[in-house]
Amino acid sequence: MTDFIGLPKAEVHIHIEGCFEADDVIANCEAAGIPLRAPRDRLFEAHDLKGFLEMLDWLCGTFRTREQLATTAYKFAQRMGRSGVRYADVIVNPTHWPHWHKDIAGMIDAFDAGFAAAEQDGHPPVGLCVSLLRTQSAAEAIELVELLGDIRHRRVVALSVDGNEAAAGRTGPRFAEAFRRAGAAGLRRTVHAGESSGPEGVRDAIDLLGADRIDHGVRAIEDPELVDLLARKQIALGICPVSNLALGVYRSLADHPIDALRKAGVPVSINTDDPSLLDTTLEASYAACAEAFAWDDETIRQLAATSVQASYADPALKARILTDLADWRS
């Protein structure tokens, strides 16, 4: 049986908002006198992307202290370690966190404290991708980028944008200037696209937002010229197969285009998106895809290598992980 936990790899498309533990959320509610949105066994239940995002807002609204954020960050790094992840880029979207809207710098500091403590204890290092929400304005986007530029926090590696593409409509032109400024400030740029939108969202991410990595991107498969562009430019897709099935983008792994994209030369990696809320792990996602597409060890190794190469880890850490990966045997 293939050891997907022992496989040296990175996770590059995962939201901290999707990694909460039910016990922590319940403790937050008890401390602040917040009524539960649902019984414990249905606390993370949502039936579509709109309901999913509303649930995230409620969950994040229960986090009100620096200690709660630091604990969440520490437990995130622990979760990564249990799955054999050597480095993770985690997305945080400040719009979901109502008690931190006016103190984003403080929120970043609190997360940083938890990540730093975890790394000191031997858990994997984590980079923070701070995300815009698609419904924000161009001015709000620029304001966030200016804040990130002012504080220049060592934990922040990238600007991101996420949210419901289908509901928000085309947003590439709105955020183009913010992403241009982010690039000029030395931030990497990762963009959710090609999930609830079609391939046009992926094209906008490349042409208008300068994306060096795309979160999801699966619906690029509907445009052969776009697939060729992704392969030619080697723009990596952070694909989350289990999430795509849970949220109805595809009906089954047999219908999922991850293997077709891989075979077309597009750099693809396997990720979990929101593992607590979807009740999955990274090793389970690897195992399900390996079975569905009959991947051999060398293909699995290539996918893990792509996850490392597409990550925002520093070059020395990437080199160490890739050396270990070359020695991996299932």
Asked if the model's pLDDT at residue 186 lies above 80, the reply is yes
What is the average pLDDT across 144-166?
Answer: 95
What the block records as the tokens of 122 is: 């031997």
Helix (H, G, I), strand (E, B) or coil at 214: strand
The CB-based long-range contact list for 52-61 (8 Å cut-off, 24+ gap) reads: 52/247, 52/274, 52/277, 53/163, 53/164, 55/277, 56/15, 56/17, 56/18, 56/96, 57/96, 57/98, 59/17, 59/20, 59/25, 59/96, 60/17, 60/96, 60/97, 60/98, 61/34, 61/97, 61/98, 61/99
Question: Which tokens in the block code for residue 218?
Answer: 């699966």
Instruction: Please tell me the distance from the alpha carbon of residue 56 to that of residue 25, in angstroms, as a whole number.
Output: 12
pTM of the model: 0.96
- What CATH code is assigned to 9-326? 3.20.20.140
Euclidean distance between CA atoms 44 and 177, whole angstroms: 35
Q: What is the pLDDT of residues 273-325, one digit of tens each?
A: 999 989 999 999 999 999 999 999 999 999 999 999 999 999 999 999 999 99
Query: Please, are residues 119 and 125 in contact by the beta-carbon 8 Å criterion?
Result: yes
Please determine, for residue 196, whether its predicted confidence score (pLDDT) is greater than 90: no
Q: Is 126 helix (H, G, I), strand (E, B) or coil?
A: strand
**pLDDT (tens digit, 9 = 90+) per residue, 11-21?**
999 999 999 99
The structural domains of the chain, with segments of one domain joined by +, span 9-326
The mean pLDDT value for 40-45 works out to: 89
140 is catalytic: no
Q: What is the average per-residue pLDDT within 261-270? A: 98
**Of 11, 17, 195, 283, catalytic:** 195
pLDDT on residue 52: 81
The answer to whether 74 and 111 have CB atoms below 8 angstroms apart is no
State phi, psi for 245 to the nearest 5 degrees.
-75, -45
Residue 157 has which token pair? 């590696």
C-alpha–C-alpha distance, residues 132 and 193, integer Å: 13
Return the pLDDT at 45: 87
